[in-house]
């Protein structure tokens, strides 16, 4: 199986880690482009995504033995240099069958997707020798206007009417009353402090992408006096706050499968278009979670080999875009008290020298190219000495460092 994000699928993770399933994990944007290119008859392409990581060098576990040893590792990729910049070569994907879910299909096979349900459905529909579509509604030819059609019928071979249109919501997420924050557990209050500080990174008119988990919550604390255009890898531009219970729509979710809203002027598109925006440096800032960050700005946030696997998702693509500012939000230390900011990362890397700023429950660090970490701000009640004791590498202290959040 070729996949990008396992997420919370415990059975999938169990089968992979126990050796029952061979899984090739790839960056989500690369997967989208593999499928799009396969459907377009392009055998391979070059991308900067994954340069300097195991994506390039090989070594990602594909199959585990029952005793936990790795039986099959991913192989090194071919690389090329264009305009002085290194890229990896990725081979395209096409399938014997493509299984697609559509909102509406007409009798010629023309397809329309609803809201964020476009995602991988559109490129998948073009990449199968036989494309089978389950449609919520099949309409007569002519009812779908030509400028509404997402996939023309030339790609579609069979249409099945959905008899039981049950749409399950994996992560029902609704807007919380901020007045109730004081009653939350201490761990959540700590997270909210990080989230609120991260929300101050947004600037008026900015295009931003927020990672799954803590970063996404920052959208609820954006200054109401500014406009920020939030992009989600699954094909949404213009995300708003989480919905009220009355606003919940199962076809409107973010990349973390949480229910969301969309602001006026928002738009929907397919995943391959979404990652084209990311690789094309259209996103001003990305806020991501982190397991480890090095003093030079290397980031590790997608796997603990043999123990925990969620998959790369879109993080490797996001940090590979040279024009995107990368802000990492995370606890300063692990649950056992060990530092997560280190001289060198011990986990497989998401990106090399890609992080610009780190925001933790204790402080804010800037990564200064060629120099290392600069302590910019302190959280309320934290001292420089406390930060130094909790950090696994050296850093310098800004002359105006102060408690700011």
Residues carrying an active site annotation: 233
Length of the chain: 405
- 73 three-class SS: strand
Residue with tokens 């579609």: 156
The CA distance from 314 to 318, in Å, is 6
In Å, what is the CA distance from 264 to each residue of 239, 257, 267?
9, 21, 9
Token pair of 46 as six digits: 């070059």
Query: What are the residues facing 80 on neighbouring strands?
Result: 87
Tokens of 130: 């036989």
CA proximity to 242, closest of 224, 263, 226, 227: 263
Other beta carbons within 10 Å of 257:
18
- Which single residue is written with the structure tokens 């708003």? 240
Please give the Cα distance from 361 to 94 (Å, whole number): 45
Give the separation between CA 350 and CA 326, rounded to whole angstroms: 12
**What tokens appear for 382 in the block?**
């934290």
């Amino acid at each position: 199986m070729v996949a990008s994000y396992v997420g919370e699928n415990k059975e999938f993770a169990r089968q992979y880690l126990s050796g029952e399933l061979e899984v090739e994990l790839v960056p989500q944007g690369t997967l989208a482009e593999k499928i799009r290119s396969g459907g377009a008859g392009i055998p391979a392409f070059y991308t900067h995504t994954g340069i300097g990581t195991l994506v390039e060098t090989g070594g990602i576990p594909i199959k585990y033995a029952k005793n936990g040893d790795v039986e099959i590792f991913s192989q090194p990729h071919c690389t090329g240099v264009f305009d002085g910049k290194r890229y990896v070569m990725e081979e395209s994907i096409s399938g014997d069958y493509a299984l697609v879910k559509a909102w509406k299909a007409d009798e010629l096979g023309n397809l329309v997707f609803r809201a964020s349900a476009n995602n991988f459905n559109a490129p998948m529909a073009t990449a199968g020798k036989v494309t089978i579509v389950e449609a919520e509604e099949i309409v007569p030819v002519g009812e779908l206007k030509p400028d509404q059609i997402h996939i023309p019928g030339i790609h579609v071979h069979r249409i099945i009417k959905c008899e039981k249109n049950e749409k399950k919501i994996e992560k029902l997420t609704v807007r919380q009353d901020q007045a109730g924050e004081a009653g939350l557990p201490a761990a959540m209050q700590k997270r909210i402090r990080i989230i609120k500080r991260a929300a101050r990174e947004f600037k008026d008119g900015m295009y931003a992408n927020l990672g799954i988990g803590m970063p996404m919550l920052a959208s609820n604390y954006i200054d109401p006096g500014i406009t920020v255009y939030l992009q989600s890898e699954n094909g949404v531009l213009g995300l708003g706050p989480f919905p009220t219970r009355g606003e919940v729509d199962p076809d409107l979710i973010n990349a973390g499968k949480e229910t969301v809203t969309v602001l006026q002027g928002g738009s929907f598109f397919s995943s391959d278009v979404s990652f084209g925006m990311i690789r094309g440096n259209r996103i001003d800032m990305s806020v991501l979670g982190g397991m480890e960050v090095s003093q030079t700005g290397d980031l590790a946030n997608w796997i603990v080999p043999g123990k925990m696997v969620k998959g790369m998702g879109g993080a490797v693509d996001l940090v590979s875009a040279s024009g995107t500012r990368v802000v990492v939000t995370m606890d300063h230390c692990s649950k056992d008290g060990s530092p997560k900011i280190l001289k060198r990362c011990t986990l497989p890397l998401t990106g090399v020298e890609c992080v610009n700023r780190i925001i933790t429950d204790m402080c804010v660090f800037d990564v200064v190219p060629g120099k290392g970490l600069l302590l910019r701000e302190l959280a309320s009640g934290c001292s420089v000495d406390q930060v130094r004791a909790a950090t696994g590498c050296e850093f310098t202290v800004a002359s105006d460092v102060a408690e700011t959040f």
